[in-house]
Amino acid sequence: MAQRLALRRLLSLAPRALPQQAPVARHSRAFSTSANCKSTFNVQDGSDFQDRVVNNPKPVVVDFHAQWCGPCKILGPRLEKMVAKQEGKVLMAKVDIDDHTDLAIEYEVSAVPTVLAMKNGDVVDKFVGIKDEDQLEAFLKKLIGA
């Protein structure tokens, strides 16, 4: 999709309410509760992914999403909510596939949303597309319990 560098410059002049994240500030990730803040994070780059996902002692669900993907906008908040309910036993990493294409390709993401369940650096479970809250809860419980 198209990006406008000029608009980015224009926005940088205006009072900025949103965190500076390329390209145009339309992806506003507002963390609603304090529990969310701790258990969900946006992956910054490859080494950040290594540190916070692959090398994390806790299990992590990785939400591969895209700005142009409608279903992602539904699944994202729903998954965040269910992750928060697990009270820190599982964390959630969000990866924008256009910003981190190499990562998406490495993990063979074809369609979005794709959610991977990672434990000790390995992909132990995965699903593609939207799931409801009960299905997500089961997915998370399996990851934590396994």
Partner 1 sequence: MLDVSIHTKFERSYEFLRDFSFYLVKEEAAGFGKKVLVLDYVVPTPLGTSWGLGGTCVNVGCIPKKLMHQAALLGQALQDSRKYGWQYEEQVKHNWETMVEAIQNYIGSLNWGYRVSLREKSVTYLNSYGEFVEPHKIKATNRKGQVTYHTAETFVLATGERPRYPGIPGDKEYCITSDDLFSLPYCPGKTLVVGASYVALECAGFLAGLGMDVTVMVRSILLRGFDQEMAERIGAYMETHGVKFIKKFVPVQVEQLEEGMPGRLKVTAKSTGGEPEIFEEEYNTVLLAIGRDACTRNIGLETIGVKINEKNGKVPVNDEEQTNVPYVYAIGDILEGKLELTPVAIQAGKLLARRLYGGSSTKCDYINVPTTVFTPLEYGSCGLSEEKAIEGYGKQNLEVYHSLFWPLEWTVAGRDNNTCYGKIICNKHDNNRVIGFHVLGPNAGEVTQGFAAAIKCGLTKELLDETIGIHPTCAEVFTTMDITKSSGQDITQRGC
Positions that interact with partner 1 (CB under 8 A):
1-10, 24, 66-70, 97-98, 101, 105, 110, 112
Closest to partner 1 by CB, 68 vs 124, is: 68
CA atoms within 13 A on the CB side of 86: 27
Rounded Cα gap, residues 102 and 77, in angstroms: 24
Least distance between partner 1 and beta carbon 123 (Å): 17
Determine the residue type at 37: C
Helix axes 133-145, 70-85, angle to 10 degrees: 50
Least distance between partner 1 and beta carbon 74 (Å): 14
Catalytic residue among 43, 62, 72, 103: 72
Is-catalytic flag, 69? yes
- At residue 139, the 3 state secondary structure works out as helix
Give the pairing type, strands 114-119 and 122-128: antiparallel
Least distance between partner 1 and beta carbon 21 (Å): 16
Is-catalytic flag, 72? yes
Rounded Cα gap, residues 124 and 120, in angstroms: 9
Closest to partner 1 by CB, 101 vs 120, is: 101
Catalytic residue among 25, 35, 69, 128: 69
Closest to partner 1 by CB, 2 vs 30, is: 2
My answer on whether omega of the bond before 113 falls inside 30° of 0, hence cis, is: yes
Closest to partner 1 by CB, 60 vs 95, is: 95
Q: Which residues are catalytic?
A: 69, 72
